[in-house]
Structure 1
Amino acid sequence: MQLTLAVLFSAALTSVTAEQRVSYDGYKAYSIVTGDDGQAIRDKLSDLDFVALTVHEASDHFDVAIAPDDVSEFEALGLESSVISDDLGAEFAEESIFEDYYSTSDSSLDKRQASALPALSWFNSYHTYADHRLFFNDLNAAFSQNSEIFVAGKSYQGRDIYGIHFWGAGGKGKKPAVYFHATVHAREWIAAPVEEYHAWQLINGYLTNDTQITAIVDSYDFYFIPFSNPDGFVYTQTTNRLWRKNRQPRSSSSCIGTDNNRNWPFQWSLSGGASTNPCDEDYKGLAASDTPEITTLVNYTKSINTNGIKLFIDFHSYGQYILQPYGYNCGIYPANINKQLSVANQVATRIFAYSGARYTTGASCSTLYATTGSAPDYQSGVAGAEYAWTIELRPSSSSGGGFVLPANLILTTAREQWEGLKTLFAAI
């Protein structure tokens, strides 16, 4: 029997032990070559217990995790495939070994220590939601004259959608906005650390009088939100590592969650770029902006858009893409698309020169797949952001770990993105 992620999650939620951690111990993951007939492959898998690891089936392959009791039966099918994980559960366990974080805002520290930026050892491992909040508080404490922590609003379960706002010469709220989101898809853990590394580097450069960084910070107001889906992220750490959506129930279905990156109020009603089935991973909701998270983020976007939005980036994983609008139509582009593509190519070239990682650039719909109600489309089509990008981070494919990027690649990924970001600022 096929188990999509949504069905598996729903079953876990409606059982007696509703919040028991979903185990992937012994699940073996494969990338199956599909050719031009992906449906035929799905039909052959229909009697097996498996989890689809991709939301949108690629044109030439389909990635699945097979339950341990069905591995032999899967292999007996003789499908052309390659193993991408021998044991997902073991990989999840290794990834979830979090290093302790000692806040620099701790009242027991002396004044000098308490004003210091967090150590870069933060990026040696992944962290809990609570520690991420401490990290942002410490960034603020180290740059207290030029920064503030803000709460844009609340998630469905009442968690703060928080971020940091910082600025340079001239005071706050006086310059065009640079606006970053991360972790709208809960299982994409690498997104928040990359955004945090950007904030760390910008603040550190300003504090140490780096002329290049000072010029950048003096030119913009920066707004960084590390978790635009905090409920989903917490759920990946407590219950189901592969959860994607928010945690909002719908009265019409036993399935939980909406894909907040299909819920923004721009071209939401179009078909083909999202699902109307509440059990699907890209479920769009019942109406545009009908999740509390997107209502919050729409309102917050309006509140900071007094001097225009120069740059918006929504960080995701995985695939190594730098994508420009639009997702809703493969034949429609922003007026400055040629400039955006030129800058994106410069960023990709710099990343490759720095680390050897190849990032693909292009308009979202034609380069990857169609999406409706996405954040970059809204930021470009409604908020008027000059640059509105999605960046899909490492790895390049499921064979590199997919959503489970090893902790030892956090800093590598962050550093190559930082090189790209400096190139981006120089080009715009």
Structure 2
Amino acid sequence: MSLQIATVLILISSSLCANEKFSFEGYKLIQITPKSVHHIQLLDSWENNPDFDVWNRIKSIEESVDVALSPKAFEHYKSLFKLASIPYTIINDNIQKLLDREQESMIRNVGSRSIVGKYARYTEVMSFISNMEIDNPDIASTYSFGKTFENRDLKVLVLKTSTSQKNVWIDCGIHSREWVSVSTCVWFIDRLIKDFRNSDPVATDLLNYYEFHILPIVNPDGYEYTHSTFRLWRKNRRPNSGSSCVGTDLNRNYGYKWMVAGASLNPCSDTYAGPSADSEVETKSVEKAINDRQGEWDTFVTIHSYGNFWMVPWGWGSTQIPDYSDLYSVSKIGVDALKSVYGTKYSIGSPANLLYSAAGGSFDWTYAVANIKYSIALELRPGRGEPDYNYGFVLPEDRAPAVGEETYVGLIAMIDAIRNLNRKN
């Protein structure tokens, strides 16, 4: 390595760490396996505690739950696990090492000018969609439909042709620590434009029928905070009145079945649903953007990580929606297409049945209130049983292109299936 390149890498590394970041040194990622209904009830109660950071769970007996704990919290809960006879294993004894691995992968890619397949910052993503508009004036436009508490734009890229009839909404990054979600929206934009320019028949047909409204970062304040200060932050960054704790879980704040299940009224909780339904500017802005085009939407997709789940409403409860079979059918087409790329397997179903009940989610609102029949939520890689599973939210950046590619193929297949159904009806 030349001295010049070495100097550049040192400067890059220093700039990435210029802001004082919270260290997760000694934090443990543990896997808990509930053996009884009582154990599940205890996990439910602990999930409201700010020191009990649930990363991923399936709410049933014998299904493991991933939890991150500080050294102090681990000592506290370890004694509670023992008292309740709840088995657990330590799957990573130092979460900071995962974050270091993620940063190393980002430093290796930093020389590339393109942000496609990378964990880009908010300003880079905004520049990317502005450049897409400039470079593709015949099909691309942008609009901003709100400002966050920290005065960042909620900016959407629209891709369409002169014959587009119906709309598709895709958003990413509602939970700020889910970086691979944001990179997947960027990948989707880049690939759809390239496919259209290369006269790919499916991309051409889709853009001739649909307007794609893509919001790459629903929660830009939280997203920037994860890059600059606290990597595992989940909520937005608006202060809470009467509390020193900041932020609301935007995916518990939507005004349908608010606080019915799986949410907290504790402002310090990661699942804090806000002081009232639709209290947050990000929530209200997305709802207004969708309501302003009421009746024009065919599909709503919100992209999260992690776990390999392709989900349909409801999130708030286990009752089956009237359109379940239709949503399952098109989801199966998407899941099969996604699997064809790298063999990644997804489970299909509702959050309440696959994972746990959680009310106030965006796709419950779009299905029930905005009347968007095909309302879908994805939980991207890594999935249980995969080699990368223990990375959780901090999947190394060099995995992001594969996630973006398979997700693009799956979503395009599903959306095309919905378009074909519309043509038949």
Which category describes the TM-score, using the shorter chain as reference length? 0.7 to 0.9
1:175 to 134, 159, 165: 165
| Structure (1 or 2) with the greater helix fraction | 2
SS of equivalent to 1:257? coil
Q: Does 1:54 align with 2:43?
A: no
Indicate conservation of the 8 Å contact 2:56/2:307, yes or no. no
Q: Does 1:322 align with 2:329?
A: no
Q: Does 1:166 align with 2:159?
A: yes
Consecutive unaligned residues in structure 2, runs of 5 or more: 1-18, 419-425
**AA matched with 2:53:** A
How far residue 361 of structure 1 moved from its aligned partner, in angstroms, is: 0.4
Any residues of structure 2 matched to 1:252-267 within 5 Å, and which?
A: 252-267=242-257
Indicate conservation of the 8 Å contact 2:261/2:317, yes or no. no
1:206 to 196, 204, 207: 196
Check 1:51–1:365 CA distance in 2 against 1; reply closer, same or farther (3 A cut): closer
Give the Cα–Cα distance (whole angstroms) in 2 for the partners of residues 370 and 378 of structure 1: 15
Check 1:42–1:290 CA distance in 2 against 1; reply closer, same or farther (3 A cut): closer
- The corresponding residue for 2:102 is 95
- The corresponding residue for 2:181 is 191
Give the Cα–Cα distance (whole angstroms) in 2 for the partners of residues 251 and 391 of structure 1: 32
Cα deviation digits, residues 245-274 of structure 1 (max 9, x gap): 111112122211111111112222x52232
Indicate conservation of the 8 Å contact 2:56/2:67, yes or no. no
**AA matched with 2:404:** A
Give the Cα–Cα distance (whole angstroms) in 2 for the partners of residues 419 and 355 of structure 1: 11
- The corresponding residue for 2:272 is 283
- The corresponding residue for 1:23 is 23
RMSD: 2.9
- The corresponding residue for 1:122 is 116
Q: Does 1:363 align with 2:350?
A: yes
Indicate conservation of the 8 Å contact 1:265/1:289, yes or no. yes
How far residue 411 of structure 1 moved from its aligned partner, in angstroms, is: 1.0
Check 1:242–1:70 CA distance in 2 against 1; reply closer, same or farther (3 A cut): closer
For structure 1, which segment, 181-190 or 27-36, has the greater mean C-alpha deviation from structure 2 after superposition?
A: 27-36
- The corresponding residue for 1:151 is 144
Consecutive unaligned residues in structure 1, runs of 5 or more: 1-18, 104-118
Cα deviation digits, residues 116-140 of structure 1 (max 9, x gap): xxx5x731x3222221222222222
Any residues of structure 2 matched to 1:409-428 within 5 Å, and which?
A: 409-428=399-418
Give the Cα–Cα distance (whole angstroms) in 2 for the partners of residues 272 and 67 of structure 1: 27
1:293 to 250, 270, 282: 282
- The corresponding residue for 1:386 is 373
Cα deviation digits, residues 337-378 of structure 1 (max 9, x gap): 211111112222222232221111012322222122211011
How far residue 318 of structure 1 moved from its aligned partner, in angstroms, is: 0.7
1:375 to 338, 350, 362: 362
SS of equivalent to 2:244? strand
How far residue 102 of structure 1 moved from its aligned partner, in angstroms, is: 6.7
Give the Cα–Cα distance (whole angstroms) in 1 for the partners of residues 170 and 185 of structure 2: 7
Check 1:143–1:290 CA distance in 2 against 1; reply closer, same or farther (3 A cut): same
Cα deviation digits, residues 133-178 of structure 1 (max 9, x gap): 22222222221222112111111111111120110233xxx52111
For structure 1, which segment, 363-372 or 145-154, has the greater mean C-alpha deviation from structure 2 after superposition?
A: 363-372
- The corresponding residue for 1:112 is none
For structure 1, which segment, 146-155 or 80-89, has the greater mean C-alpha deviation from structure 2 after superposition?
A: 80-89
Aligned positions, number: 384
Indicate conservation of the 8 Å contact 1:275/1:282, yes or no. yes
- The corresponding residue for 2:13 is none
Q: Quote the sequence identity (%).
A: 27
Cα deviation digits, residues 70-111 of structure 1 (max 9, x gap): 8799989797444432421122123133533776xxxxxxxx
**AA matched with 2:22:** V
- The corresponding residue for 1:4 is none
**AA matched with 1:100:** V
Check 1:412–1:385 CA distance in 2 against 1; reply closer, same or farther (3 A cut): same
Give the Cα–Cα distance (whole angstroms) in 1 for the partners of residues 262 and 154 of structure 2: 26
For structure 1, which segment, 25-34 or 354-363, has the greater mean C-alpha deviation from structure 2 after superposition?
A: 25-34
SS of equivalent to 1:401? helix
**AA matched with 2:279:** D
For structure 1, which segment, 209-218 or 72-81, has the greater mean C-alpha deviation from structure 2 after superposition?
A: 72-81
Q: TM-score, normalising length from structure 1? A: 0.82
How far residue 297 of structure 1 moved from its aligned partner, in angstroms, is: 1.1
